[in-house]
């Protein structure tokens, strides 16, 4: 127990994360055992089977075997769903009434990994995280080399069929779309879905090695070739996702990225949502659309979004600033009910955006330009110890003189502390500092009245952050 609590492994905004070396072996087995014990205490072990999926990280297969050993040791049957998107795993497990574990570090570097846990009814809550930690034991769990039933094809097919049934056939006829494949587990399913709806696809940047892709970090070197590919191949758009396929990426035909919260907003409007649930980091223009009866703001992290979606009235859509979209109750597409899937999905927001553009006879850029959103940008400082980020944020929150000095060029009109520190300036712009819950990073989000204002604010915010925590 001591070695686990003192390791790099921590629950963040979405699951357990830490160094892969800390997770492999007994740690993965013990956390899996703790998860199963927690479910047992809740009476939610389901049908006696536990589904496992994984991303393409070098460590993911070994950790999958560790999870399987712990499942077998608990007297349950481990089921291998292979390298599939996280929402595909969740959908398949929920359909079977079973729990699931996704082995993934999502978008963080390859030397890290993690576990995402799913009850038979969906993604775990913060209360479940506490229950898992409370159930952690010290026992050694043997490598049982447990046999794994293979349902990888079935899981992928169920996920594909969900989207196939939700949009009209041929809706993307005449479109030429690049699929930035890198090492995302969503790469093959994305291409297949686009071709099913009539698009011509171009494979881009497929990698045998794992590539950490943060779909919000547009300045990362991994994205540098994309605008050139748009021109070289005459593409109408480029689509992609992060490592485990639950955060979307979209570039328009002009070589510009589409922000994730714009994608989420498009989904909500496309399906006629009445209630939208989204973190405080999503664009403030969402309320100004007037399209929804209710907009609920939360802390960053899927558990908070899911919690707020529960019991919300009408057709409910949740989404994060990264574009990962959650389907709640009461949602219909193509005239039929879309079953709830309260975990991030990358494919739905991509298809909704492309479908809307095709239906209107517009480009992706034209669809996005029509949204009443503030110009928004984000960046992050990497390799920042949490203690330094915490000290900086605490001083900004508690020392008024210090905060006024830092924000002297812009002034402070209001401060929200729902998650991190979100400052409204006297001119109505926004600067938001927040420590990442998944990695040693300090993030900076900004909104400005124009793209130039937003860029200047972000440059200023990053200079301040580097000065104070560097």
Residues 376, 445: contact at Cβ < 8 Å?
A: yes
211 vs 230: CA distance, rounded Å = 21
229 vs 202: CA distance, rounded Å = 10
- Catalytic hit among 106, 166, 375, 436: 106
Sign of CA dihedral 311, 160, 257, 111: positive
Active site residue 183: no
Q: What is the DSSP code (8-state) at residue 428?
A: S
Residues 223, 209: contact at Cβ < 8 Å?
A: no
Residues 161, 64: contact at Cβ < 8 Å?
A: no
Query: Which phi and psi angles does 344 have, rounded to 5°?
Result: -60, 140
Hunting for tokens 């007297």 — which residue is that?
Answer: 75
Tokens coding 133:
């930690």
CA 287 to each of CA 51, 186, 293, 325, 360: distance values in angstroms, whole numbers, following the listed order:
39, 31, 10, 17, 24
β-pairing verdict for 99-103 and 112-119:
antiparallel
- Across the strands, what pairs with 114? 17
Q: Reduce the DSSP state of residue 81 to 3 states and report it.
A: coil
Q: Reduce the DSSP state of residue 120 to 3 states and report it.
A: coil
Written in H, E and C, the secondary structure of 129-154 is HHHHHHHCCCCCCCCCCCCCEECHHH
Q: Reduce the DSSP state of residue 237 to 3 states and report it.
A: strand
138 vs 271: CA distance, rounded Å = 48
Cα Dmax for the chain: 63
Neighbours of 137 (CB within 10 A): 12
- Across the strands, what pairs with 297? 278
CA 106 to each of CA 13, 120, 245, 358: distance values in angstroms, whole numbers, following the listed order:
11, 22, 8, 30
459 vs 379: CA distance, rounded Å = 9
Active site positions, annotated: 106
């Amino acid at each position: 127990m001591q070695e686990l609590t003192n390791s790099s492994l921590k629950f963040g905004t979405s699951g357990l994360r830490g160094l892969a070396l800390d997770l492999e072996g007994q740690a993965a087995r013990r956390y899996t055992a703790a998860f199963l014990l927690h479910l047992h205490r809740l009476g939610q072990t389901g049908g006696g089977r536990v589904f496992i999926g994984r991303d393409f990280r070098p460590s993911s297969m070994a950790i999958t075997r560790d999870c399987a050993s712990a499942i077998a040791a608990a007297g349950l049957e481990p089921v291998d769903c292979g390298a599939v998107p996280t929402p595909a795993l969740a959908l398949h497990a929920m359909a079977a009434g079973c729990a699931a574990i996704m082995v993934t570090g999502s978008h963080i570097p390859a030397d890290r990994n993690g576990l995402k846990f799913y009850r038979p009814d969906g993604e775990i809550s913060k209360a479940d995280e506490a229950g898992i930690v409370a159930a952690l034991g010290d026992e050694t769990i043997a490598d049982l080399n447990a046999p794994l039933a293979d349902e990888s094809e079935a899981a992928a097919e169920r996920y594909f069929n969900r989207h196939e049934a939700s949009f009209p056939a041929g809706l993307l006829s005449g479109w030429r779309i690049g699929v930035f494949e890198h090492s995302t587990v969503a790469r093959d399913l994305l291409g297949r879905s686009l071709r099913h709806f009539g698009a011509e696809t171009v494979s881009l940047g497929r990698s045998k090695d794992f590539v950490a892709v943060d779909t919000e970090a547009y300045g990362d070197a991994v994205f540098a070739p994309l605008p050139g590919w748009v021109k070289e191949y005459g593409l109408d758009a480029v689509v992609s996702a992060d490592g485990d396929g639950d955060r979307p990426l979209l570039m328009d035909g002009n070589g510009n990225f589409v922000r994730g919260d714009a994608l989420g907003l498009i989904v909500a409007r496309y399906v006629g949502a009445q209630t939208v649930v989204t973190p405080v980091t999503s664009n403030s223009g969402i309320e100004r659309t007037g399209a929804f009866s209710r907009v609920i703001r939360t802390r960053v992290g899927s558990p908070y979004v899911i919690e707020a979606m529960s019991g919300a009235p009408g057709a409910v859509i949740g989404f994060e600033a990264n574009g990962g979209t959650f389907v709640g109750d009461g949602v219909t597409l193509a005239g039929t009910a879309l079953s709830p899937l309260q975990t991030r999905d990358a494919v739905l927001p991509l298809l909704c955006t492309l479908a809307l553009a095709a239906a209107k006879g517009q480009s992706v850029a034209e669809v996005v330009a029509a949204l009443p959103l503030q110009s928004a940008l984000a960046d992050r400082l990497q390799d920042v110890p949490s203690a330094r980020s915490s000290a900086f944020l605490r001083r900004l929150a508690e020392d008024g003189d210090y905060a006024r000095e830092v924000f002297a060029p812009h002034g402070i009109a209001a401060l929200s502390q729902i998650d991190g520190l979100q400052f409204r300036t006297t001119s109505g712009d926004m600067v938001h500092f927040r420590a990442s819950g998944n990695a040693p990073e300090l993030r900076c989000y900004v909104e400005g009245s124009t793209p130039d204002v937003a860029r200047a604010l972000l440059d200023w915010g990053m200079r301040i952050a580097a000065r104070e925590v560097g």
